Amino acid sequence: EKWMPIREVTRAGLKDYLLELRRRGYAIVGVEQTHNSIQMDEFRFPTNAALLLGSEKEGIDADLLPLLDSCVEIPQAGQIRSLNVHVSGALAVWEYTRQWRAGLCA
């Protein structure tokens, strides 16, 4: 494929959309700092992955966290452990693409 499909979904329709993606065989991978998060450089992305990004400051809504198959966070150093959501999204897409091109996706 020449392009990676990216779709923006309204907050009101997000839960149903994620459940539909799961029914279609996608794993839902959240980019969020939680007590169960896996460092992104230690995570093997599934081939069919849907990335869920949260909003600035609040992150992924708490009611959506149970829908995640996996949760990854971007390794960071220092006091402030936060990146803008567009930066986090770009890094997650880059890491997925790197793994996919190298044949590393699970």
The confidence band for 1, taking pLDDT boundaries of 50, 70 and 90, is low
β strands within 44-98, DSSP E: 49-53, 70-73
What pLDDT score was predicted for residue 83? 84
The overall longest dimension of the chain from CA atoms, in Å, is 40
For 60-95, what is each residue's pLDDT tens digit? 999 999 999 999 999 888 766 678 899 999 999 999
**33 contact partners, CB below 8 Å, separation of at least 6:** 59, 73, 81
